[in-house]
Amino acid sequence: MITAKPEVGQPAPPFALPDHTGAVHRLDQYAGHWLVLYFYPKDDTPVCSREACGFRDDMGAIKALGAHVVGVSLDSPQSHASFREKYRLTFPLLTDTGGETARRYGSHFQFACLRFLKRHTFIIDPRGRIARIYRSVASSRHSREIIDDLRELQSIPPTRDKD
């Protein structure tokens, strides 16, 4: 099944995914706020840990810009709970076991029986539209890049929807 990748300016594909406690997070819960939605391959691997810790360390600056961070992988809620505790992560990690949400965002990869999520990030604006897409992520500086881009995006006056 091939799904079109979303583009900047389009409505963000909806999602409803559980976090490490079983609480379901939905895209519409973040309406009116900036959302940094990032997909990553696997809990507790070196690169994924570096990326998550970058978001953790820069959370003050991200929150000051009115943004929320949410991570998504194929891992179980139990794996997320352990990962969050080990690295003291302060943002939700959501479980996309079947990969459906990742497919809608063009972030799911499957080759034979190997399945994983690509390291992609989406900034979603307060109206629920995709404002920025990162399909190539350098985990060591990604959170700082997000902060810089949120500042830039927020300096642009909002435009009215034509629909």
Residue 70 burial (CB < 10 Å; 0-12/13-18/19+)? buried
How far, in Å, CA of 155 to CA of 3, rounded?
A: 32
Q: Give the position of tokens 């990162």.
A: 134
CATH number for the domain harbouring residue 120 = 3.40.30.10
Q: What is the pLDDT of residue 113?
A: 64
Q: Which residues pair with 99 in a beta bridge?
A: none
For the chain, the domain total comes to: 1
Residue 85: domain span: 31-154
Q: Which residues are catalytic?
A: 48
pLDDT tens digits along 72-121: 998 999 999 999 999 999 999 999 988 899 889 988 776 666 666 788 99
Residue 8 lies in a domain: no
Q: Global pTM? A: 0.88
| Structure-model confidence comparison of residues 138 and 40, the more confident one | 40
How far, in Å, CA of 7 to CA of 63, rounded?
A: 25
